[in-house]
Amino acid sequence: MNSKPSRNDFDPARYGLIPTPGSKSDGKGLFTLNPSKTRRYIQLALVAIFIYAGWEFYRYYLWAVGSSPDFYPRPPASEAFLPISALVGLKRWWLGNGFDPVHPAGLTIFIAAIIIALVARKSFCGYLCPVGWFCGLIDRLGARLLNPLGISRRPGKIIYRIISLPKYLLLGLLAWAILVGMGPADVEAFLFSPYNKICDSKMLLFFIEPSTNTLIGLGVLLLGSFLVQGFWCRGFCPYGALLGIFAWFSPLAVWRDKQNCTYCRRCVRACPTGIAVHEAHRVSSPECQGCLECVAACPEPDCLSVRAGYGQKAVRVSNRLIPLLCLALLFLFIAGAKVTDNWQSKVSPIELKMYHQAIYSLGHP
């Protein structure tokens, strides 16, 4: 007679941690959705959070500029859109001058994104970035309207490499200016300048009071995303370029079994950045966001899979591992920042309101 299973008898297959061959969702358990739907729901949840944070920030902004008598605290999540300030703050921390007290949440998210890239590829871009989500909507609209007309939205390897140059050029200029050109005194002067303290509000002005150049830039972004697969992420996002460099070292990647591949190219059409998945053995491209859209689109169950490791020692793992690690690491860093009092800005609301009175005249230091 079989004994009754004890509470300590953990069955990893029950929770989907051991992949089931031939199943896109890797069996039953934490997620029964395929990778594409899992990504959509995660993106929508994060977009909803950012919309709420954006509304809260706008109400704070109205109070800060004197348009509303009601005070609303500034949401730390708004600092996620300040990667340049975060890079300067990272250098300050590296120099041993402490964690950034002005935009600590921005620095926390920046460090989390880098660690996520090292562990789980550019899944920060693939699952958490609201700009990538928006460009993905335009991208899918372009595919739906142009593909039936026989218009290719994937320009090919050489053109893609040319398109990718601007973001690496921007990244190189920023890295040189901040990591090489700025000394300790320059770092302190920038971080504690009035401009940096309210740079999130300055960014808000780009959208609520857009200039002609801003409208032209947004128009180019929309048109480019409509016509070219992965236009923004592939060509112009220096943040993604930085994460792509770190993602090169990630042990997780999508692998292709050549024997099971029919070269239908559905993986290429599904990839947000147009990677030639059908030609790779291990998808190690710095453009890979770990979104697993290629895995979801592949009609052959055992052709594309997620594996951990390199070469012959790589082990197949659950498709859920990349999004789970991405979310777990993000929330772990946020929780750690809150516990260590490195989430809320140390700049007082009264000081911030004082600087907002001159928001139109404050220039970059």
Concatenate the DSSP letters of all residues of 46-83 into one string: HHHHHHHHHHHHHHHHHHHTTS-SS--PPPGGGGGG-H
The mean per-residue pLDDT over the stretch 232-252 comes to 94
Q: Quote the CA–CA distance of 45 and 359 in Å, as a whole number.
A: 32
Instruction: Return the number of other C-beta atoms located less than 10 Å from residue 48's C-beta.
Output: 10
- pLDDT at residue 9 tops 50: no
- For the chain, state the CA radius of gyration: 22
The tens digit of pLDDT for each residue in 309-353 reads 998 889 999 999 999 999 999 999 999 999 999 999 999 999 999
Angle at 331 between CA 330 and CA 332, to 5 degrees: 90
In this prediction, residue 358 carries a pLDDT of 93
| Res 32: pLDDT | 46
Chain-wide mean pLDDT for the chain? 89
Which of 1-10, 88-97, 297-306 is predicted least confidently?
A: 1-10
Beta strands in 117-168 (DSSP E): none
